[in-house]
Amino acid sequence: MDWRDLNRFASSDRGADFYRTCLEYGQTLWRQRLPARAILCLDRAWGADLSGGEDILKEWPLPYDALVYILREAPSDVFLGNPRVHFQHYADRLGEPRIEQRKWRSWACWALSCKARPDLPRDPKHEVEEPSLEKIAEMLDTHGHAGETALWASALERIE
């Protein structure tokens, strides 16, 4: 797989097949020891246009656990970047479609990144109020899929 597998999807065709392809390509990149690029594929998966009831989500739930796995297991000799800063900036700069849903998913990923990798610094020049875990949960309840907040909270709780 390569980037062309994702680029074949038109912006109006970002449903279940797009979601599956994002996850598969992310796994391919992970196996190639490219964790930063794998995380970008997870970003794309979270942006898929899914209502929450699709069969693919029963088999492959939103990839909060996958993000934590990458953050915790990325070898120290490969480029990870700073996912904490990435998600902080991403949450603050999103456009349509589904801005609020994608924004709060990004903040959820930011919280996972902070807890899984406390060694990663924040961006002190990025002047944005970082939300509390309670606010993230409230907004995922409002804008996410049914059960998404519990899925995220479960991933957060499993971080040692």
- Which contiguous run of DSSP H or E holds residue 10? none
Query: From its phi and psi, is residue 123 left (phi > 0), alpha (psi between -120 and 50) or beta?
Result: beta
pLDDT at 128: 86
Burial of 59 (0-12, 13-18, 19+ CB in 10 A): exposed
Q: Which residue, 102, 93, 36, 21, is CA-closest to 67?
A: 36
pLDDT at 4: 87
87-123: pLDDT as tens digits: 999 998 888 889 999 999 999 999 999 999 999 998 8
- Which contiguous run of DSSP H or E holds residue 133? helix 133-143
DSSP 79: -
Measure the CA–CA gap between 76 and 153, rounded to whole angstroms: 27
Asked whether 65 and 155 are in contact (CB, 8 A), the reply is yes
Instruction: Collect all residues with Cβ–Cβ distance below 8 Å to 155 and sequence separation of at least 6.
Output: 64, 65, 67, 68, 112
Question: Which amino acid, 95?
Answer: G
6-46: pLDDT as tens digits: 889 977 789 999 999 999 999 999 999 999 999 999 999 99
Going from N- to C-terminal start, the domains of the chain cover 4-157
